[in-house]
Amino acid sequence: AVNKLEGQDKRKATEEVSKYLVLIKNILYGEDDHDPSPDLVAQLAQEVYKTDLLQSLILNIQKFEFEAKKDVAQIFNNLLRRQIGSRWPTVEYICGREDILFNLLRGYEQPEVALNCGLILRECIRHEALAKIILYSNKFYQFFEYVEMSTFDIASDAFASFKEILTRHKQMVADFLEMNYDDFFDHYRKLLQSENYVTKRQSLKLLGEILLDRTNFTVMTRYISNADNLKLMMNLLRDRSRNIQFEAFHVFKVFVANPHKTRPIVDILIKNREKLINFLGNFHNDRQDDEQFNDEKAFLIKQIQELQLTQD
C-alpha cells in the first residue's frame, strides 16, 4: 500500500495505509482487553525487518493521514523497546541501516511531520548505539540549524532531541566533546549569541548542565580557561532578559570558583573587579528567598575581592 502512494488513486492508497497501520498497532499493543500475543509480535517484527518497512514508513510519512502519522510513531517506538534477553532487535536492525536515523533527523525540515519524527528520534537516542551514530556523524551539526527554526514548536522539539543526545549517555558524550571540542563549541557559541530568546536561554541552561556534570570535567576545565568564553558570559550577565542573566550567572560562577584560573581569566576579573563587585552586589536582589543563589553570589564577590588582594 505504501508503494501505491505515488499512483493515480492516492486517496485509496492512503486509506489502505491507515488501515494497515491500525492493524499493526493492534498486534503490537493488543486490542480492547486482550494483551498482545508474543508469537504474533515476533512474526510481525521479523516481517518488518525483512521488508525494510521502518525505512518505507519514514520516507513516506508526510503523505499519510494525521492519525496514521501518530500510528507510525507508536509502532516505531514499540518496536524500539522490544527486548529479547539482553538484545534489542530493532536497535540492532537500525544500526545496520543508519539512513533511518538521518531520515528521521531530516524530518525537522518538513513541518507536517517534524514532531512525529522528533518523537521517534528521541526514542532512538535512548539507545547509546543509535545516539552514537548520530553524534559522530556530520549530520549531527544540523541540530544547530533546526533549534533556530522560525516555527516555535519545531525548534523546541529539535532542542529537546538535541538536549537528549548531549545528556543521556554521559561518558560517550564526554568522549565526543573532548575529541570534537573546537568544532562543537564554535557551533555552540552561535546559539549563545542567537537573536532568538528561547534558543539563547535554552542553550545557556544546557551549557550550565554540561559544564557542571562531573563526567565532563576535562571539557569544563578547557571551557573555563578561555578568556573569550568568560567575556561572553559577562556580556550575557547584562542581557536585557532577566532569565538569560540568571542562566549566565550559573555559568559565570564556574569561571570565578575555579581554584586553578588561567592568567587571562585572572587578568579579566582583576581589570573589572570594582564593576563586577558592584554589579553582583545589586544582581537580582529580589531573590531574597533563594538561599543557595545568595550564598553563591556572596562567595563570588569574596573570590573576586581576594583575587585582587592576592595580586597586590
For the chain, the 3-state helix, strand and coil shares in percent, each to the nearest 5, are 75, 0, 20
Let me know whether 107 and 185 are in one domain.
yes
The last residue of one of the domains, among 74, 97, 120, is 97
Mutual angle of helices 152-167 and 114-125, in 10-degree steps: 10
Q: Last residue of a domain, which of 223, 239, 267?
A: 223
Same domain, 204 and 264: no
Same domain, 240 and 296: yes
Residues 52 and 86 occupy one common structural domain: yes
- Same domain for 23 and 60, yes or no, is yes
168-184 tens-digit pLDDT: 999 999 999 999 999 99
Q: Which residues are paired to 87 by β-bridges? A: 84
Torsion of CA 236, 237, 239, 244, to 10 degrees: 80
Q: Please state whether the predicted TM-score (pTM) of the whole model is above 0.85.
A: yes
Whether residues 56 and 11 fall in one domain: yes
- pLDDT recorded at residue 3: 54
CA 300 to mean position of chain CA atoms: 30
Assess whether 150 and 205 both reside in one domain. Answer: yes
Q: What is the pLDDT of residues 266-279, one digit of tens each?
A: 999 999 999 999 99
Q: At 100, is the secondary structure helix, strand, or coil?
A: helix
Rounded CA gap, 2 and 271, in Å? 66
Number of structural domains the chain divides into: 3
| C-alpha cell of residue 77 | 517506538
Q: Which range of residues forms the domain containing residue 270?
A: 230-312
263-to-111, 215, 218, 269, 308 alpha-carbon distances in Å: 48, 25, 18, 10, 13
Q: What are 112-124's pLDDT values in tens digits? A: 999 999 999 999 9
C-alpha dist (Å) from residue 144 to 36, 218, 229: 40, 23, 19
Query: Can you give the CATH number for the domain in which 168 is found?
Result: 1.25.10.10
Are residue 80 and residue 3 in the same domain, yes or no?
A: yes
Residue at a domain's end among 65, 97, 129:
97
Q: What is the pLDDT of residues 223-260, one digit of tens each?
A: 999 999 999 999 999 999 999 999 999 999 999 999 99
pLDDT at 312 over 50: no
- Based on the domain organization, do 54 and 116 belong to the same domain? no
Q: Do 106 and 82 reside in the same domain of the chain? A: no
Spatial CA neighbour of 207 closest among 252, 237, 238: 252
pLDDT score of 8: 54
311 confidence band (pLDDT: 50, 70, 90): very low
Tell me the per-residue pLDDT of 58-103, one tens digit each, with 9 for 90 and over: 999 999 999 999 999 999 999 999 999 999 999 999 999 999 999 9
Identify any residues that bridge with 31 across adjacent strands, giving them in sequence order.
34
Are 66 and 123 contained in the same domain?
A: no
Which amino acid, 25? K
Same domain, yes or no, for 103 and 218? yes
pLDDT > 70: percent of the chain: 96
